[in-house]
Amino acid sequence: MSRCPPSADELRHFAAVALRLARAAGDELQRCRDAGRGRAESKGRRRELVTEADRRAEHIVVGGLLQAFPAHAVLAEEGVLTTQGQASSAADWTWIVDPLDGTTNYVHGLPFFATAIALAFRQRPLVGVVHAPVLGETFVGCRGLGARRVYADGREQPLAVSATTELADALLATGFSYNRNEPGRDDNTGRLARVLPLCRDLRRLGSAELDLCYVAAGVYDGYWEQYLAPYDVAAGAVLVQEAGGRVTDLDFGDDWLFGGHVLASNGHLHDALGAQVGNR
């Protein structure tokens, strides 16, 4: 593969492979749940869970990616077929994979979970696919080519962020880290307390990637969260940007992929929302 930025046809090919593997992983997640393999174990913190289903889904995605693109690196959450938390090799191209975003929801029977796959070129995500199997929704986007929502019946809908311009009219979303009660950690309650009286309402549904998808789809007007990994945000951020929205870190900079925190919005509300929840 060329070391130059990819063509539109290459991006479409990457997205098609990611879409196929995300759907296969979603099928496996549902089979595991139906077969009683959704039981969880702790990753270290009691509230941070992993399941056999996570690992089985990641094996499908990572194995498929390594077969299709052996020269590419893979950064995947559970470390199946890769070194956990690290890219598998030095490369311009890195696939960023969360096999089950929303594990706690999955374990407790809530349908708000997804498989997320992104492709970054020199640490810039260019392709994002987020597949929510129970919801029957898949979100697909490529840099410069737009983003769309694909329904289980095959219907497609272009994604576009909302036109909301006033915080008082905004439906917002956020999340709370697993490490929120550890010394020196910001538990997000201060930010929540500042913005909640100013907005229409706020949701916390437990999947960062799907929260970003819903900003891209115009359901949410804005979203922020802290203590995130690249695989929590890479795919969804592509979708927000391709739908016309804005993505920064909480310092209003561009380090949202590896910086550990993200602020996403329809663009119109970015400064107003950031004034309440950002680090300035």
3-state secondary structure the chain: CCCCCCCHHHHHHHHHHHHHHHHHHHHHHHHHHHCCCCCEEECCCCCCEEEHHHHHHHHHHHHHHHHHCCCCEEEECCCCCCCCCCCCCCCCEEEEEEEEECHHHHHHCCCCCEEEEEEEECCEEEEEEEEECCCCEEEEEECCCEEEEEECCCCEEECCCCCCCCHHHCEEEECCCCCCCCCCCCCCHHHHHHHHHHCCEEECCCCHHHHHHHHHCCCCCEEEEECCCHHHHHHHHHHHHHCCCEEECCCCCCCCCCCCEEEEECCCCHHHHHHHHCCC
Residue 1 lies in a domain: no
Shared domain for 148 and 172, answered yes or no, is: no
Q: Is residue 131 part of a domain?
A: yes
Query: CB-hemisphere CA count at 13 Å for 236?
Result: 34
Whole-number mean pLDDT of the chain?
91
Q: For residues 237 and 245, is the Cβ–Cβ distance under 8 A?
A: no
The answer to whether residues 119 and 29 belong to one domain is yes
3 domain residue, yes or no: no
Alpha carbon separation from 100 to 3, 52, 97, 112, 235 (Å, rounded): 30, 11, 9, 10, 13
Residue 203 lies in a domain: yes
pLDDT, tens only, 140-189 = 999 999 999 999 999 999 999 999 999 999 999 999 987 666 777 899 99
The torsion angles phi and psi of 240, rounded to 5 degrees, stand at: -60, -50
Within this chain, do residues 140 and 191 fall inside the same structural domain, yes or no?
A: no
Query: Within this chain, do residues 121 and 242 fall inside the same structural domain, yes or no?
Result: no
Domain annotation covers residue 199: yes
| Residue ending a domain, choose from 158, 193, 213 | 158
* CATH number of the domain residue 192 falls in: 3.40.190.80
* Residue 102 sits in the same domain as residue 240: no
58 Cβ neighbours under 8 A, 6+ residues apart: 25, 76, 77, 78, 80, 81, 97, 99, 100
- Residue carrying the six token digits 């975003």: 101
Domain boundary, last residue among 158, 190, 224:
158
pLDDT greater than 90 at residue 106? yes
What pLDDT band is residue 4 in, cutting at 50, 70 and 90? Answer: confident
Query: Within this chain, do residues 20 and 124 fall inside the same structural domain, yes or no?
Result: yes
Bridge partners of residue 169, in order along the sequence: none
Give the C-alpha separation, 118 to 98, whole Å: 9
Any bridge partners for residue 273, and if so which?
none
Residue 103 has pLDDT above 60, yes or no: yes
**Does 273 lie in the same domain as 217?**
yes
Give a yes or no: residue 145 inside a domain.
yes
Q: What is the pTM of this model?
A: 0.92
Q: Which residues span the domain enclosing 220?
A: 167-277
In degrees, to the nearest 5, what angle opens at C-alpha 177 toward C-alphas 171 and 180?
A: 120
Q: d(Cα 92, Cα 10) in Å, to the nearest integer?
A: 15
pLDDT tens, position by position, 176-197: 987 666 777 899 999 999 999 9
Q: How many domains does the chain fold into? A: 2
Q: Is residue 2 part of a domain?
A: no
Q: What are the φ/ψ torsions at residue 81 (nearest 5 degrees)?
A: 70, 5
In-domain check, residue 29? yes
Selected residue with higher pLDDT from 45 and 201: 201
Tens of pLDDT, residues 19-47 = 999 999 999 999 998 887 556 655 555 45
Domain boundary pick from 158, 181, 197: 158
Q: Are residues 56 and 83 in the same domain?
A: yes
What pLDDT digit, counting tens, does each position of 63-88 carry?
A: 999 999 998 999 998 776 766 566 76
Q: Which token pair is 118? A: 């992104």
Q: Report how far residue 217's alpha carbon sits from residue 240's, in angstroms, rounded to the nearest whole number.
A: 8
Please give the residue that has the higher pLDDT: either 166 or 280: 166
Statement to judge: residues 140 and 64 lie in one domain: yes
Site of tokens 């880290």: 177
Task: Using the structure block, give the residue that is written with the tokens 């913190």.
Answer: 45
253 and 203 fall within a common domain: yes
Q: Could you tell me if 62 and 130 lie in one domain? A: yes
Length of the chain: 280
Tell me, yes or no, whether 72 and 178 share the same domain.
no
Q: What is the CATH number of the domain that holds 111?
A: 3.30.540.10
Q: What is the phi-psi region of residue 188: left when phi exceeds 0, alpha when psi lies from -120 to 50, beta otherwise?
A: left
